[in-house]
Amino acid sequence: MKKIMRRLAGQLGWDRNPLRRRIDRVETVVVTALLAIFLVGAPVLMIVAARVTDSAGVRQQHAERTWRQVPATLLQTPANQADPSYGWDGAWVRARWSAPDGQQRTGFVAVDPAAVAGHRVQVWVDGAGRITSPPLRTYDIWGDVLLAVVTVPVVLGIALSIIAGCVRAVLNRRRLAGWDRAWYAVEPRWTRLP
């Protein structure tokens, strides 16, 4: 175990190697700080993302309480509009339905291509009678929460990796400039003939 810890400290730059320059120690501190930010920040951000996503989903569900499923009468028979390349073999046709306030509405609804004019289908409408998608279900919210919880540490890791890469690029440029200065100081002494 001691050997593993020593090797890890050496890879992170926390050993007492006398060949490490000041710039190497700066890089070590920055990488360690970014690693600590990830280890502390990822769980905290995951919790925050879960709560925010869940709260937004619950608010959406409350807003959708006025949505109702109403019967709509098809006004036309679907033309051959099905396009299986999109993974959906339905069609869009004009239909008429009654809004919650009793007004008659018309618009396009998605139907099976075998439907005929005069056929009745169930559609979801909002409080104003506009066609809408079905309301959010609880497991839809859970799926959104899970997606947020998985996405947050990935995005944080990518952002911190980009920062680490930028810091490394700047430090490498300084490192190379230092090597050039050292070489120009030593090189004339090497080329002198005795």
What confidence tens digit (pLDDT) does each residue in 3-34 have? 887 776 766 666 777 777 788 888 888 988 99
Q: Is 109 exposed, middle or buried (0-12, 13-18, 19+ CB in 10 A)?
A: buried
For residue 46, the enclosing domain spans 2-62+139-191
Number of domains forming the structure of the chain? 2
What confidence tens digit (pLDDT) does each residue in 29-41 have? 898 899 999 999 9
Q: Residue 184 contacts by C-beta under 8 Å, 6 or more apart in sequence?
A: none
Total Cβ atoms within 10 A of residue 105 = 17
Q: Which long-range contacts (CB under 8 A, 24 or more apart) does 157-165 make?
A: 157/38, 157/42, 160/34, 160/37, 160/38, 163/34, 164/30, 164/31, 164/34
Same domain, 175 and 118: no
Same domain, 20 and 47: yes
Same domain, 152 and 57: yes
What confidence tens digit (pLDDT) does each residue in 104-114 have? 999 888 888 77
Same domain, 72 and 128: yes
Q: Which of 134, 152, 183 is the last residue of a domain?
A: 134
Q: Which of 116, 134, 152 is the last residue of a domain?
A: 134
Same domain, 83 and 122: yes
Same domain, 56 and 103: no
Q: Which of 93, 118, 134 is the last residue of a domain?
A: 134
Q: Which pairing describes strands 104-111 and 91-98: parallel, antiparallel, or unpaired?
A: antiparallel
Same domain, 56 and 143: yes
Supply the pLDDT for residue 40: 96
Strand order in the sheet with 68-74: 104-111, 91-98, 68-74, 120-125, 131-132
pLDDT average, residue stretch 47-52: 96
Same domain, 183 and 146: yes
Total Cβ atoms within 10 A of residue 10 = 12
CA distance 48 to 39: 15
CA distance 105 to 131: 9
Model's pTM, two decimal places?
A: 0.67
Same domain, 7 and 56: yes
Same domain, 58 and 11: yes
Same domain, 47 and 101: no
Same domain, 171 and 148: yes
